[in-house]
């Protein structure tokens, strides 16, 4: 593998293992990575919409792909530009949900939703694609409790379920990070420092416009 791509993938692995998996941010991240179900494509320079869309379609075409990540380590767009690009790619790739990950995002703990951009501070700008069928299984409301569970709830011995699976994941993520925000911020900083040094060593243009 080209040393530049190997370095990009190594930094992405650090983010996945030290942030996403360590904080249990995604229900399928570890299984997808270890099971060979994570497809990664690296785009160089300043890719256009067609480049992102074609890379996404190729990555999702893998027979075992559950998660696809399209990484653009030299792309210089701001977070708002990546969000706009996400929407355009989603319109082109209708079989998957698309999420944007950008290194420049402030910590905001007011609500679980406002925390999401900070948790998606991958080393490089990237788009993550997940087949809609998998997303639907995570977003779906839980099945109704059986009669015994309903009786326990009515008697006050068991709390009723709240929200969808996705809602509960977001709330749990918020609780873990809010308990010690400095710890996760330090992990992000260590990965960013590693990126700056390593990309300079292999000749990747890692600069982004000042925010």
Question: Is there a domain that residue 211 lies in?
Answer: no
* Pair type for strands 38-42 and 67-71: parallel
Q: Which domain holds residue 144?
A: 3-202
> Going edge to edge, which strands form the sheet with 126-131?
38-42, 67-71, 126-131, 96-101
Q: How large is the average pLDDT for residues 152-159?
A: 43
Which tens digit of pLDDT belongs to each residue from 88-131?
999 999 989 899 999 998 889 988 889 999 999 999 999 999 88
Local confidence band at 170 (pLDDT 50, 70, 90 cut-offs): confident
Question: Is there a domain that residue 209 lies in?
Answer: no
Q: What is the pLDDT of residue 150?
A: 42
Across all residues in the chain, what is the average pLDDT? Answer: 85
Q: What is the pLDDT of residue 16?
A: 96
Q: Cα angle vertex 64, ends 61, 68, to 5°?
A: 60
HEC-encoded secondary structure of the chain: CCHHHHHHHHHHHHHHHHHHHCCCCCCCHHHHHHCCCEEEEECCCCCCHHHHHHHHHHHHCCCCCCEEEEECCCCCCCHHHHHHHHHHHHHHCCCEEEEEECCCCCCCCCCHHHHHHHHCCCCCCEEEEEEHHHHHHHHCCCCCCCHHHHHHHHCCCCCCCCCCHHHHHHHHHHHHHHHCHHHHHHHHHHHHHHHHHHHHHHCCCCCCCCC
Local confidence band at 157 (pLDDT 50, 70, 90 cut-offs): very low
Count of domains for the chain = 1
Q: How large is the average pLDDT for residues 144-162?
A: 45
Whole-model pTM? 0.82
Q: What is the pLDDT of residue 211?
A: 40
pLDDT(143) > 90:
no
Question: Is there a domain that residue 210 lies in?
Answer: no
Q: What is the pLDDT of residue 48?
A: 96
Q: What is the pLDDT of residue 84?
A: 96
Which tens digit of pLDDT belongs to each residue from 43-60?
999 999 999 999 999 999
Question: Is there a domain that residue 207 lies in?
Answer: no
- The larger pLDDT score, comparing residue 150 to residue 116, is at 116
Local confidence band at 137 (pLDDT 50, 70, 90 cut-offs): low
- The larger pLDDT score, comparing residue 136 to residue 71, is at 71
Question: Is there a domain that residue 208 lies in?
Answer: no
């Amino acid at each position: 593998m080209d040393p530049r791509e190997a370095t990009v993938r190594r930094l992405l692995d650090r983010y996945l293992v030290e942030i996403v998996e360590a904080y249990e941010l995604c229900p399928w991240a570890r299984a997808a990575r270890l099971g060979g179900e994570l497809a990664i494509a690296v785009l160089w320079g300043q890719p256009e919409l067609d480049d992102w869309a074609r890379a996404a379609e190729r990555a999702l075409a893998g027979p075992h792909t559950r998660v696809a990540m399209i990484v653009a380590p030299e792309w210089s767009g701001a977070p708002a530009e990546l969000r706009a690009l996400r929407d355009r790619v989603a319109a082109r790739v209708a079989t998957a949900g698309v999420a944007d990950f950008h290194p420049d995002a402030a910590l905001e703990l007011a609500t679980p939703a406002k925390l999401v951009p900070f948790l998606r501070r991958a080393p490089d700008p990237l788009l993550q694609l997940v087949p809609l069928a998998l997303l639907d299984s995570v977003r779906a409301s839980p099945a109704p409790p059986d009669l015994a569970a309903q009786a326990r709830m009515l008697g006050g011995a068991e709390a009723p379920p709240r929200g969808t699976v996705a809602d509960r994941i977001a709330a749990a993520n918020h609780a873990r990070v809010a308990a010690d925000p400095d710890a996760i911020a330090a992990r992000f900083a260590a990965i960013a420092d590693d990126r700056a040094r390593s990309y300079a060593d292999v000749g990747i243009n890692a600069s982004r416009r000042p925010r």
